[in-house]
A and B are shown apart, each in its own frame.
Chain A
Amino acid sequence: MPDFTRLHAHEMSRLLRAGEISSRALTEAHLAAAERQNGALNAWLTIYRADAIAQAGAADARIAEARRAGPAALAALHPLCGVPVALKDLVSVKGGQATAGSKILRGYIAPFDSTVTARLREAGAVILGKTNMDEFAMGSSTEHSAYGPTANPWDLTRVPGGSSGGSAAAVASYHTPLAIGTDTGGSIRQPASMCGIVGLKPTYGRVSRFGIVAFASSLDQIGPLARDARDAALLLHAVAGRDERDATSAPIPVPVELLSLPESDDEAASYLKGLRIALPREYFVEGMEPGVAARIREAVAAMEAAGATVDEVSLPHTDYGLASYYIIAPAEASSNLARYDGVRYGFSDRSSGEFIADYLRTRGGGFGPEVKRRIMLGTYALSAGYYDAYYLKAQKVRTLIKADFDAVWAAGFDAICAPTSPTVAFPLGARTEDPVAMYLSDACTLPINMAGLPGAAIPAGLSEGLPVGLQIVGAPWSELSMLRLARAYEGITARAPWRALEPAELHLTDDPTTPSPVGRRQRTASASAEGSGVQA
């Protein structure tokens, strides 16, 4: 019997329709892998074994029914019918927890489905469980989770990136072919890059945010993590589109061509002919690892060799992206997170018997240090007398950043290629004591959120044995073109030796004696926690 976990979603979809495999068997295989290896990875916070198997059974019944009804009925099924998918633990699933990686939401059970969840159910996808993340998606390493960090299957002593690190590690470890992540400043792309998979942050407004625990409302987007471009396209298709429950979701049609990216590598590669690619010089930032810069330049050179034209461009306001992002995102977060007061749900400390004091205790004890840092930052930025100097100014910078990109599209470029992260995955604990170093992980991704543009990370080889992600940025609503470009790059690198590699330390996770990343962190934390005021 082949190992079902190594299949891509589009392959599963074909085999399911052909009646060669069952969703039940696929689901069992993935659940088994997740359960076996999660001890060493801590990628999953909840596994919905019983529900997943029930959903798989229902999907098998739908497929069987469609097979009986004929080709038209089969074609009407979404390709993801019967295919497993993981959700970041800030996606609401009716009757399930949604901790957002925080202690303050411990015990909260969502009484409703997010729009993304509802659309996945409608497609017939099998929801395997919920993945680990930085608390409220604030972080770039998944170390700021109240439920312990996640390990990177390429090197278990390193981070998987974040904040969608659990989703990225689960996909890279073959626990699921697909996962939903969210990206506010790079939280899909950066972990995808560090785990060697594909991650797409759609255009702001492409995917409904209803039912997704909010971090920064004007920046948050939901998107797919997958092991190739075709799979990412299938998942995007399933969840995208206008939703009446999200006033910021756009009434723009979702292209059906997402379901039919070319299968043949040669056909895919032909998309590059005549494509105009921009290479922004500001994205090769100081402190970028030479191995990362080399892989990106090689990838772009390969595209050029396949018929694309590549020109260097300037995005002059890139430097202000980080500073303005760290005003706007915390400002919105300070307000979005005000609802966690212990009155209605989640963690609640009512020991004082007086509500203001109980608020302070609940929030003091329920939020981790990074979340508190950002709430304070955001509260300050919105305060009377500072609003104009910080928040308003940052919004103006945001307009300028957007204008930088507009100029690139106006000049006739089809896409921008850039690094995703300046570095490969860094060791667990390396940046937890230095917030600014952690923030710099997102220097190349957060301007894309500020501009509301779609951005993807795709694997582009290894540096020092660890994955490097190429970032592709497109004009608004150009996800289809970006994924065609991503698929083209897969086509021209299909025979590259690194394509055949599996995460180097994944095999270690089968060994029950391999320590969990939680244990590893506790050892480092106990050595360094003394005297650190913000350590939880």
Chain B
Amino acid sequence: MTAAEPAASRYEAVIGIEIHCQLKTVSKMFCGCSTEIDGAAPNSHCCPVCLGLPGVLPTINKKAVEFVIATGFAIEAKVATTTRWDRKNYFYPDLPKGYQISQYQLPLAAEGRLTFDTSDGPFTVCVRRAHLEEDTGRLIHAELDGRRVSLIDFNRSGMPLMEIVTEPDIRTAEQARRYAEELRLLMQTIGASDAEMENGQMRVEANVSIRPRGQEAFGTRVEVKNMNSMRAVERAIAFEIERQTVAVDAGEKIHMETRGWDEARQSTYHMRPKEEENDYRYFPEPDLPPLLTSPEWLAEIKARLPELPSARRRRYRDEQGLSAYDADVLVNDATAAALFEGAVAADPAVPPKLLANWVTGEYMRLAKGGEGSGAAAVDPAELAALVELVVDGSISGTNAKEVFAEHFATGRGVSSIVKARGFEQISDAGALGTAIDTVLAANPAAVADYRAGKAEVLGFLVGQVMKATRGQANAGMVQNALRERLDKAE
């Protein structure tokens, strides 16, 4: 290889992703404290258990276990029949017991996989494991009475977390982002987590290394943290691959380290070295007996699984004839998908593809416009009724958009808007005939042109009729009627 070759063809990146998702349970992982900690006063959501006071014992939140099992099924993983809890021991002020209850030897789910689309086509990542653990508190560095102090908020202590670790299967920054996006979608679909990265409900960490193409051995890996959006995931990893490539090309050694993503500078920076693996002295948690997952329980969880994104995409495409793009847009937006599904259910006679066009088009445009409460006011049955009016020619497409906008803003029924606005198309031959007579009489030149063989003049005449009826005429009917009149009189 030569330096003249582009780096991308000389080196291959090897990426593994670790994701922590805060699970959407009512209470914390091992105590009864509420999980509604967003915006709560510091240390207002704590109890002796999540503060690690002497003598307290953990009790398992069954719902959290079910979420991980459900995730396991969703990623086609092996779900454990017996799972165990382990203690991960280390000292830190935000870790009140001096150990974190986690799962080490027997995770709830192992050996799964997740397939998603990328710009290069479908890609599958193998998931090594998904397990349950408790979150730590949060250290806040502040200045108090002129002194620099560290404060601890234990509200987050004991929040249920699912950790999902991939094999080092990922090769590009885009794949990494797409994996994280697809997992986020999966979490939201299952209802296991809101998985909003911005508020820490989903934390993505990447282990990135590069190696010369063709080499089997892995390079030295660098851990990248603090990526607070999907875009940041892609950019941080891309930056890190580039940084390592430049360093290796310059003959530098890559050091084991943890680097953080600096959003403002769009670069990663050194946080701390990682000379050796920490010795966490894992051992089985003696305060919790092993958890047996009965076949009945597992079957129940599996049966409760909603339709997963991949299956839904397939259904939209293969059964309802949606384009791959529309299917993907809908699957990625739960409210839009619900609107679509509701409209299809409300009137199975309306072609789903047309409904999808309205949802991905008008609806999403308005929803994105931030008209706030509007999105909630949209009634799937009203949308179906509106599209039906368009299909049978009772209302023009342009007017239908206006009707929809009003329904979006006010929730008012489609038929009453149509009536109020006088948008009912003139499909009555008599009424139409009068308008046509007027237009033909006013445009003798055009009539002559048409009869002389200039068929394209018909469009002009249709326009004139539409204008005369203030858009309420059915354009198709107008065209037919015009043609009939002009041809007959010949």
Using a CB–CB cutoff of 8 Å, the interface residues on chain A facing chain B are 90, 92, 98, 100, 105, 108, 110-112, 114, 209-214, 216-218, 244-248, 331-332, 334-335, 337-341, 343-345, 355-356, 359, 379, 382-384, 387, 391
Contacts and interface: CB of A to CB of B under 8 A. Distances in A.
A206 to B, nearest CB: 15
Interface string B17-57: 00000000000000000000000000000001001111111
B235 interface: no
B293 interface: no
Contacts of B91: 338, 341, 356, 359
Interface stretch (B96-104, B261-269, B407-415): B96-104
Contact of B152 (A246, A343, A383): A343
Interface string B349-391: 0000000000000000000000000000000000000000000
Nearest to B49: A245
A341 B98 contact: yes
A105 B96 contact: no
Interface in B263-322: 277, 279, 281-283, 286-289
A228 B283 CA distance: 40
B96 A379 contact: no
Given A339-B54, A382-B89, 11 more contacts: A98-B54, A105-B54, A111-B53, A214-B54, A214-B55, A244-B59, A334-B281, A335-B89, A335-B283, A344-B52, A356-B91
A391 B286 CA distance: 13
B286 A332 contact: yes
Contact of A247 (B48, B52, B59, B282): B59
Contacts of B59: 244-245, 247
A111 B51 CA distance: 11
B203 interface: no
Given A92-B55, A210-B56, A217-B286, A355 B98 contact: no
A317 B289 CA distance: 25
Given A110-B54, A210-B56, A341 B93 contact: yes
B281 A382 contact: yes
A245 B57 contact: yes
Contacts of B98: 335, 337-341
Given A359-B91, A382-B89, A338 B97 contact: yes
Contacts of A211: 55-56
Closest 4 CB pairs of A and B: A338-B98, A217-B286, A382-B281, A218-B286
The secondary-structure label for the interface of chain A is loop
A341 B287 CA distance: 21
Nearest to A343: B93
Contacts of B57: 209-210, 245-248
A105 B279 CA distance: 27
B416 interface: no
Contacts of A216: 286
Nearest to B139: A355
B60 interface: yes
Contacts of A246: 57, 287
Contacts of A384: 277, 279, 281
Contacts of A355: 93, 150
B58 interface: yes
A339 B55 CA distance: 11
B131 interface: no
B87 to A, nearest CB: 5
Contacts of A245: 57, 59
Contact of B87 (A335, A356, A359): A335
A379 B281 contact: yes
A93 B54 CA distance: 12
A214 B56 CA distance: 8
Q: Which of B54, B59, B279, B281 has the most CB of A within 10 A?
A: B54
Given A214-B55, A247-B57, A341-B91, A382 B48 contact: no
Contacts of A244: 59
Nearest to B91: A359
Given A382-B283, A383-B281, A112 B48 contact: yes
A210 B59 CA distance: 11
Contacts of B289: 247-248
Contacts of B283: 331-332, 335, 382, 387, 391
A112 B281 CA distance: 30
Contacts of B87: 335
Contacts of B97: 338-339
A247 B93 contact: no
A356 B93 CA distance: 9
B54 A114 contact: no
Given A210-B57, A248-B289, A339 B52 contact: yes
A105 B53 CA distance: 11
B286 A213 contact: no
A339 B89 CA distance: 10
B183 to A, nearest CB: 30
A121 to B, nearest CB: 16
Contacts of A337: 98
Contacts of B56: 210-211
Nearest to A360: B91
Contacts of A212: 55
